Structure 1
Amino acid sequence: MKEILKKCEYIWKETTQRSTITRKIIELVCYSIILILIITSYSVLSLKSFKSELLNSIHAEIVQINPNNDIPNALIVEQLLEQDENFNHQENALFHSIVNLNEEKIKLTQKHEEIFLRNIIILAMTAILLSVLLSLKIIVRIRNNIFRLSTKISEVTQAIVEDKVLISEGLTINSSDEFTNLSDKIIEMIDVLLLDIERRKKLEQDLEKLATIDELTGAFNRKKWEEMLNIEIERTHRNEQNLSLIIFDIDFFKSINDTYGHDTGDLVLREVVTTVKKEIRTLDFLCRIGGEEFAILCPDTNHNQVINLAERVRESIENYYFSQVDKVTISLGVSQFKTSDDKSKFIKRADLALYKSKRNGRNQVNS
């Protein structure tokens, strides 16, 4: 160090004899050297201080290990230094283990969070799917129930419009909520309405029967006869179709009443009507127009057809076994409607034919 300072002093003296620029450069170099020397000196002092502290700590450990103040040998110092180094290594290893453990905990936590989030998403999607399915099921059930109710209401409405009798049937509603209460009330109302319609229809039928059916024989009465005769004559004029008429009465019916009584006479009337109904068609109208006098109105029937029908009716009565009397016969008159006819002429010809049958010996057909 002293030699370096002497050289710097020598260089300083030399620079005083040189040029200004050169002197400045040399001054800068000298300052730099001096600064380096100062830093180096400070480093050396710091190293000595560190060694001193290290030795003091080692001395303290030696004192703890060797309380008798024995002078330690070099082996003991090396062992202490080695133990200190091992302790540093263990400390570093423990630190790294803690860091690794924390990293593993962080990774495990992140993995659990991912699993938890995935499970939440799956549960949410499942809940949404179940909600949609349940909603669809409820909607389908409600629509089916509404469809059943609408169908039933339409049937009732149609029955009312067409004046039909609709049988009340049980209507099952697959629900257990407010809709059930409403549907039950509607069903109850429908049932009451159906019963009312059924009663009204039966009443109408009873009234119509009283108004159009002869109570004793079951044939149509005089009022229905007049109504159907007008209808069929008008239809014949409109469509230019055939229309024929049979008028008959029971031969010697007064003597039956006088001989066997009116109860037997009434029974004969009923049995005659029952027998004649088996021979005529469904479109023919059998009417009781007097005491023992009947008429058969035959739509869409020509002269030959009505003659054949009248003969079948006559034969059926002749061959029928009456329970209270020995034998009953009928006389029949037939006419066919003409375009120039009115109701009176049409009936008059059939009456004349009936009288002809009676004059000619009864139990026969004439036209």
Structure 2
Amino acid sequence: MSVFSWYHASIKQKIGGLFVFLLAFMFCVIVFSAYKVNQIEREMRVVAFLDIPLSQLMQQVEFIELEQHLQFEQFQLKKQMGDKPLNPHQQFTFEKQQIKKLLDKAVALISHSLASKEVVLQAEAHQKVANKIENYAKKSNEFENYLSNIYAREQLTELERQRVEEMATELEHAQRKIILQLNKLTADDAYYTDEHEKDFLFVSTLLGLCAIILGLLLTSYIIQIILRRIQRIQSNIETLSTSFEHHELPLELQNGIKTKDELAALEHDIKIVISRLNQEMTSREEIEKQLIILATQDRLTGVFNRHKWEEQIENQINMASRSEYQFALIILDIDHFKQVNDQFGHQIGDRLLKHLATQLQQQIRTEDMIFRIGGEEFAIISPTQDKQQAHQLAEQLRVYINELDEVSLPKVTASFGVTCYQTDDSSSVIFNRADKALYEAKAQGRNCIVVA
């Protein structure tokens, strides 16, 4: 993931990426720690299983050589005192076998460790120790053979005694050198191990600090990005909220939120905007309803206007042309309405039209629709009605208007033109047919019905 894609990534991706990075870093630290621990373990194994056992073996060899030397001194002393000479040949043979086993064991231990590559520190120095032990074994064997020959004879010359002393001193010096060298190897191995432990502790601490610093930096970076985004969102929300300030907020949102949590503050701001948006939508819905009423209803009478008439007559024509759907059209006109205006005034005329429209709405069915299409002219669309049913409805309305007696309003009558949908009718054709029927009713003396 590049820096640019990281910047535009989601919060989940950023936090997940940080988590994966820290896990990978910790995994590297764990792998390095395991490697160093394994290295220290191998070095300590060399000390525990090679250097220390070698030192112990050489000390045992030294003790056995010391016993041989003491026995030789006792042998000399008893010879000088004239006692019966002792025969320690078997004792020397046994000690010789012990020394040989110990030296062979020491050489085998070093050889095996070198061959199996278990010696990870100072391999050449260990090989030199093995060579010295082999040389020491040869000299020790020569010394033991020489002692065996001496013990086999009863007499010991001064030259032989000096030779034994020299050989014993040589072996003793060789032993001490080997033991000192082994002690030095052990001390060096322990020093290297201690240094590795210090390096391991230093590097682990450094890696841990780096992980903490990187984690803090990345966390701070992500937090800053999130905060900047939240501040931008809050700024946009405040801008949007100011456009709806004319709406009052609910009581629970009027008091500001007291918190340092940016997300809680953002949530509060969003609730404010949502509340104002809901109020705005409710207000707009009410305005839309009012606009629809203004666009479809006649302002004076409250019935549908001519715009709604044109829309509904087209819908009825479309439904009837696609199926066997049937509807009827009734057009009525108030007789001598101009005389009402002239005699009683336009205000009374308007009240009369409004009262008649209200009464007509109450007399027709719920599915029927009444429209004001002219000054005193009304149209009624009656779905699923044939000519006979439409004629009955028109007669019912004519009688009702004729018998209507309202205080402060003049009595009037109405003429009716009735028709039904016919195949291939258009809105203008069916309207003209009903309109002609209306004029025929007017010609026949008014207050009557003509069906076309």
Give TM-score scaled by structure 1 length. 0.49
Give TM-score scaled by structure 2 length. 0.41
- Work out which structure has the larger RCO, using CA pairs closer than 8 Å and 6 or more positions apart in sequence: 2
Larger Rg: 1
